[in-house]
Chain A
Amino acid sequence: MASESTMAHPFEDAPNHVTPTVIHDPILSKTDFRSVGTRPLRPDGLDKVTGRARYGADFNMPGQLVGLVLRSPHAHAKIKKIDTSKAEKLPGVKAVVTAADLPDHTGGDQSMYDILENCMARGVAKYDGHAVAAVAAVDAPTARKALKLIKVDYEVLPHVTDVDEAVKPNAPLVNPRMLTEGVEPKPKKASNIAKRTEFGHGDVDAGFKEADVIVTRSFRTEQTHQGYIEPHACVASVSPDGTGELWVCTQGHFVYRNHCAMLLGMDVSKLRVTSSEIGGGFGGKTHVWAEPVALALSRKANRPVKVTMTREEVFRASGPTSASSIDVKIGARKDGAIVAADATLRFTCGPYYGMWAELGSMTAFACYDLKNVRTVGYEVLVNRPKTAAYRAPSAPMAAFAVESVMDELAHKIGMNAVDFRIKNAAKQGTRASYGPVYGPIGIGATLEAAKKHPHMKAPLGKNQGRGMACGFWFNFGGQTCTDINVGPDGSVTLTVGTVDVGGSRASIALCVAEELGVPYEQVKCIVADTGTLGHNDMTDGSRGTFSSSMAGIFAARNAITVLRERAARMWEIPVEHVTWEDGHAKAVGEKYGNLAPLSLKEIAAAAGNTGGPIAGHSEIVADGAGVSFATHIADVEVDPETGRSKIVRYTVIQDAGKAVHPAYVEGQYQGGAAQGIGWALNEEYIYGKDGRLQNPGFLDYRIPVCSDLPMIDTQILEIPNPNHPYGVRGVGETSIVPPLAAIANAMSNAFGVRMTHVPMSPPRVLKALEAAKKA
C-alpha cells in the first residue's frame, strides 16, 4: 500500500479550489459541518490508479464461455425463419439461443415486454443492430464462426428513421398496432405517434395578444449517445436448480436483477447480481440488453457465459438519446415581461413507447415564471435503437430551443440576455410550467451569479462570441436501503446499494462520518450485491449521493441509538442520560456528568458483552430530491473559412444544495458541460437511406478530446434542499442542459446567425454563415 504521506491527506489547496457560495440557510439547523464539504481521497481511488479495480469485462468465472450476439443488418425486417442447426453442430459451440429460448414471462406488463423484445427480436427486427440470435462457445473465434453459420431469412420491410418523416401520414409504420394515447376520441388508425401529452396553465392565445414582440422558430437536434468509455459487459451463470449469478456493469444492479429474473422466469431472490466498477453510464446503463441473453445462454449451456459488447454494438444496439424536432413561440412585452410561451416537441423513442417528449415538455419552460404557457409533446416511433435516458433526459434539446428563442427575444426587445432572464425567472411560489408550485429554488441565484461573474466582462477575441443559457432538471430520490455495521475496533462499514459512478462512496461516507462524529477515514463505504441489502433503485436521476446519504444519515442515527444504549449499559445508568456528541457517548445530568465520555471504539470493543454486534439500518423512499438549476456562459470561436468552432472559455454555475465533496460536484459540472459541448458541436447518429447507422465508432462519432476543450470553470451555489437532512440536492445531470443553447447563442452573438440544428458541425455552421452573407 502507499505510504501515509501520499494517501491520507485531504486535498485542501487544489489550484481550482473555490469555496462554494452559500446563499442562505433558512430552514436547516445543520450548518457547522466538519466532514461534509471537505475533499478527502475516495475509498476506491487507489485501485483505480493502479489497474486493480475490476470493471465489467475484468472478471471471469471458471469454465466460462464466450457469448456473442447476431444482429439484424436491416432497419426493419420480418424474420421468416432462423436456422441455427449448422451453428449448433460446430464443435465448441455449447448453446445457441433465439427468442424461442426467452419465452414471454411478462404477464401483460407492456414495458417489460418491450424490454424482452428489445433484448431479442421476436418475429420482426426493428432497427439496424437489433439482436436476433446469440451463441456461447469455448472461445471467441469459435463463437464468431458460429454466428456466420446461423441463417436468418429476412423479409425487408419499409423503414423510417427520421423524426419528421415518421409523423407524416403515409410514413412506414414501425408498430402497426400503435394507436396514439392521450387523444380523444381514441384513434382507430395506427401511426408512429405513441402518445400525445400536454402541460401548462393560463390562456396562451390570449397571452400572445398582449405581446409586443413574438419570436417563433423551429429546431432540430440529432440523436447522440452517452458515450461511456466502458462497453457493456457481464458474466452470467445459471444452474439447473434455478439459481443464478450475474456480474455486470450497471447503474442499478437491483433493477437489473428484477428485470432479468422476470424475463428469465426466475425467482428474484435466486438471482444474485453483483455490480462491477462502472466505466460510465450517464443513463445508458439503466436498461438491460445483453444480460438476459447471457443468462439464457448460460442456462442452456449450463456453464458461465461472458458477453462483452464491442464499441460498434454499443452504438448500434444500446440506448442512445432521442432525436428531436421542436417548435417554440414566445411573446413578450417591451418591458421584458413574457406574456405567453408555447412549444410543440417531437422526440424519437426508437421502436417502443417512451416518455421522452413528455420530459422535454415538462422541462422546456421550467426556468421561468409564466402566466400563460403550454407544451405539447409527441412520442415518435422510428426504426432506431430503443431510446434510453441520457443525463437529464430530453431537457438539453428542449432548452436548446427555448433558450435560443429567449436570447432572440431579448435581443429584439433590446434587453441584455441575463437581465431578461432574471426578470422572468421562476422563484419560490412560482407555478412551474409542468404544474406544481416551486419551493426554494436557485435559478435566480445562478443568474445573479452569472451577471457578476468576471467571465461576463472578459474581452473577446477575433471571431469570438459569448453566449449564456439556463437549464433545469428535476432530480429524484427513490427506494434506498443502507446498512451501517460497527466493527470490533470501532471502524464503520457503510454498505450502500447505489452504484458509485463518480465518487459517491466518498460523499456518502462523508455524510455518515459527519453524523457519527468520527473521522472520514474511520468509515469504509462499499457497494453491496443484491443478496446483501434490500432493493435499491438505480443510480440515475442524480439520486446516488442524495438518496444514499439520506439513508446513510438515518442509519447512522439508528446506530447512535444503539451506541447510546450500550454506553448506558457500560455505565449502568439509564439511557436517557446518555447523549451522542463528537463520536462519543456522553453522560449528562448532575449525577453522571463526571463520567468520562466513551468513544465509539470503546463501546465497540465491549459490544460482545453489552448485547452483541452494533448496527444501524435504514430503508426509505427518498422523495423530495429538490429541483436543480444552472446557468452556463460560453465563449466560442468560429473559423469563418471552415465553420469549425472551438470553445475558448466556459463557466458553469449551479446550485448543489450542499456540496458534500466539492471536487466531485465540480467534476459533475465539468463532465456534463463537456458532454453538452460535444452534443452541440459534433456528436450525431448518421443513418443512411438504407436505415443503417453509418458512424458506429469513436472515429466517426466524435466525442470531445482533451485538445478540444478549455478548462471548465465552476461556481457551486448552495441553496439548501429542505427535504434532505444536510440540504443536499442531486448534482449529476443539470450541467448537460444549457451548453447547446449557450453555444448557439454565442455563435449568434458573434456572427448574427441563428443556428437551429444541432450539432452545429462545421458544414452546418459554414452553410449558415454563407446564407447570412448572401442575405
Chain B
Amino acid sequence: MAVLVSTAINGDTVEFACDPHESLLDVLRNRLGLSGAKEGCGTGDCGACSVQVDGRVVCACLMLGVEAEGRDIETVEGMSHGTELHPLQSKFLEHAALQCGVCTPGFLMAAKALLEHNPDPTEEEIRFGLAGNLCRCTGYDKIVRAVQDAAKVMRG
C-alpha cells in the first residue's frame, strides 16, 4: 500500500506516494527525478547519497521515504541560488576536487552541513567531518583544500 507523504525539498512543497519500505534515496531518484544523490552502497557506508534533513546530513539510503513527512530536505540540486554557485561548488571546481565526480554531491552536502555548524574548522575537523564520505579517486587532498578555501570565502 502506497503512503502519501508531504514534505519540502529544496524549498518547494512536494507530495509523493511511496511504498512504506522505500528508501528516501529511491524516492528522490526514482520518483522525483532528483538523481544528484547517488547510491554507492545502499548500506550507509559511502555517503554518496548524503542529503540534509532539517539541517543535518543523513544517508538517504538509510532513511525511509515516509520519514520525510513534514521535514525540510535539501539535496545537491538545491545548493546553488539561480545561476550563482554555492562557494563549496565553486571551490570544488577550482581546486579540481573531483575526478569522476560521483562522490561530489555527497561531499558537497556533508561539507555544507559541516561548515554550517563549524565555520572555521581545522584540517583535522574537516577530515573527521567528512569521514563518512568515500572518495576513491582523489585521495581527499584537493577536497580538503577546497573545503578550507570555501570556508574562508564563506567567513568573508
Q: Is there any pair of Cβ atoms, one from A and one from B, under 8 angstroms apart in the complex?
A: yes
Q: Which residues of A contact B (CB under 8 A)?
A: 1-3, 6-7, 11, 14-16, 39, 41-42, 44-46, 48-55, 57-58, 141, 226-231, 277-282, 308, 310-311, 501-503, 661, 663-664, 666-668, 670-675, 697-699, 703-707, 709, 711-712
Number of residues on chain B facing chain A (CB within 8 A): 62
Q: What number of residue pairs across chains A and B have CB atoms under 8 A from each other? A: 208
Q: Mark B11-53, 1 if CB is under 8 A from A, else 0.
A: 0000000010000000001000011111111110110100000
- Known pairs A3-B84, A6-B90, A698-B41; A51 contacts B102 (CB<8 A): no
- Interchain nearest-CB distance for B3 vs A (Å): 15
A707 and B128 in contact (CB under 8 A), knowing A51-B35, A57-B39?
yes
Chain A residues with CB under 8 A of B101: 44-45, 48-49, 53, 277, 279
Asked if residues B137 and A667 are in contact (CB atoms below 8 Å), the reply is yes
| Chain B residues whose C-beta falls within 8 Å of the C-beta of A16 in the assembled complex | 141-142, 145
Task: Tell me the nearest residue of chain A to B98, going by C-beta.
Answer: A48
B144 within 8 A of A: yes
Query: Would B134 and A698 count as touching, CB distance under 8 A?
Result: yes
A39/B136 in contact, CB under 8 A: no
Q: A227-B136, A229-B135 are in contact. Are A501 and B141 (CB under 8 A)?
A: no
Scan B114-156; emit 1 where CB is below 8 A from any A CB, else 0. Answer: 0000000001101110111111111111111100110000000
> Is the Cβ of A667 less than 8 Å from the Cβ of B103?
no
A45: which of B46, B93, B123, B142 is its contact (CB, 8 Å)?
Answer: B93
Q: Which B residues touch A278, using CB under 8 A? A: 100
Separation in Å of the A251 CB from the closest CB of chain B? 11
Known A280-B136, A661-B96, A697-B41; 4 more pairs at CB < 8 Å: A228-B136, A229-B136, A279-B101, A698-B43
B96 and A667: CB pair below 8 A?
Answer: yes
Nearest CB in chain A: distance from B86 CB, A: 8
Cross-chain pairs A/B with CB under 8 angstroms, 30 sampled = A1-B83, A3-B83, A6-B85, A7-B85, A7-B93, A16-B142, A41-B94, A42-B93, A49-B89, A49-B92, A50-B79, A51-B36, A55-B38, A141-B19, A229-B102, A229-B136, A230-B38, A279-B103, A280-B136, A311-B41, A311-B45, A663-B95, A664-B99, A666-B141, A674-B139, A697-B45, A704-B139, A705-B132, A706-B140, A712-B139
* B105 contacts partner chain A, Cβ-Cβ < 8 Å: yes
CA distance A49 to B87 in the complex (A): 11
Cα A653 to Cα B47 in complex, Å, equals 31
> Does B54 lie at the interface of the complex (its beta carbon under 8 Å from any beta carbon of A)?
no
B139 lies within 8 A of A14 (CB): no
Q: Is the CB of B93 within 8 A of A41?
A: yes
For B93, the chain A residues whose CB sits under 8 A away are: 7, 41-42, 45-46, 49
Q: Are A280 and B100 in contact (CB under 8 A)?
A: yes
Chain B residues lying within 8 Å of A501, measured Cβ to Cβ, are 99-100
Given contacts A50-B36, A697-B43, A698-B46, contact A45 B144 (CB under 8 A): no
Interface of A is mostly: loop
Contact between chains at B84 and A2 (CB < 8 Å): yes
Complex contact A15–B149 (CB within 8 A): yes
Q: Which residues of B contact A141 (CB under 8 A)?
A: 19
Residues of B in contact with A (beta carbons under 8 Å apart): 19, 29, 34-43, 45-46, 48, 75-77, 79-80, 83-85, 89-90, 92-96, 98-105, 108, 123-124, 126-128, 130-145, 148-149
Residue in A3, A50, A503 whose beta carbon sits within 8 Å of that of B96 in the complex: A503
Rounded to whole angstroms, the CA-CA distance of A100 and B19 in the bound complex is: 35
Give min CB distance, B19 to chain A, whole Å.
8
Q: Is the pair A229, B38 in contact by a Cβ cutoff of 8 Å?
A: yes
Chain B residues closer than 8 Å to A53, beta-carbon distance: 101
CB closest residue in chain B, given A709: B140
Q: How many Å lie between the Cα of A54 and that of B89 in the bound state?
A: 17
Q: Which residues of B contact A697 (CB under 8 A)?
A: 41, 43, 45
Q: Roughly how many angstroms separate A39 CA and B35 CA in the complex, as a whole number?
A: 29
Contacts of A280 in B (CB 8 A): 99-100, 102, 136-137
Known: A280-B136, A501-B100, A698-B134. A711 touches B144 (CB 8 A): yes
On whether the beta carbons of A667 and B99 are closer than 8 Å, the reply is yes
Contact B140 A230 (CB under 8 A): no
Q: In whole angstroms, how far apart are the Cα atoms of A1 and B90 in the complex? A: 12
- The docked-state distance in angstroms from the alpha carbon of A675 to that of B138 is 9
* Residues of chain B contacted by A667 (CB below 8 angstroms): 96, 99, 137-139, 142
A310 to B131, CA, bound (A): 22
Q: Which residue of A lies closest to B36 (CB)?
A: A51
Task: Name the A residues within 8 Å of B41 (CB-CB).
Answer: 311, 697-698
Across-interface contacts of B148 in A (CB, < 8 A)? 15
User: Are A50 and B76 touching (Cβ within 8 A)?
Assistant: yes
Given contacts A41-B93, A706-B130, contact A51 B85 (CB under 8 A): no
B139 lies within 8 A of A673 (CB): yes
Contacts of A503 in B (CB 8 A): 96, 99
Closest 9 CB pairs of A and B: A51-B36, A279-B102, A674-B139, A48-B101, A502-B99, A670-B139, A698-B45, A663-B96, A51-B76
Contact assessment for A11 and B95 in the assembled complex, using a CB-CB cutoff below 8 Å? yes
A542 to chain B, nearest CB (A): 14
Cα–Cα distance between A44 and B134 once the two chains are bound (Å): 21
A50 touching B145 in the complex, CB below 8 Å, given contacts A2-B85, A706-B131: no
Assembled-state Cα–Cα distance A279/B101 (Å) = 7
What chain A residues lie within 8 Å of B19 (beta carbons)?
141
Across the interface, name the chain B residue whose C-beta is closest to A669: B139
Residues in B whose Cβ lies below 8 Å from that of A6: 84-85, 90
Shortest C-beta distance, A148 to chain B (Å), equals 16
The reply to whether B89 and A50 form a contact with Cβ atoms under 8 Å apart is yes
A49 CA to B143 CA in the complex, in Å? 13
The reply to whether B134 and A703 form a contact with Cβ atoms under 8 Å apart is: yes
A229 touches B48 (CB 8 A): yes
A697 to B41, CA, bound (A): 8
For residue B76, which residue of chain A has the nearest CB?
A: A51
Complex alpha-carbon distance, A176 and B46, angstroms: 41
Whether A229 contacts B46 by the Cβ 8 Å rule is yes
Chain A residues contacting B100 (CB-CB under 8 Å) are: 228-230, 277-281, 501-502
User: B40 to chain A: which residues have CB within 8 Å?
Assistant: 229-231, 279, 311, 698
Docked CA distance A669–B95 (Å): 15
Do A311 and B42 have beta carbons less than 8 Å apart? yes
Is the Cβ of B35 less than 8 Å from the Cβ of A671?
Answer: no
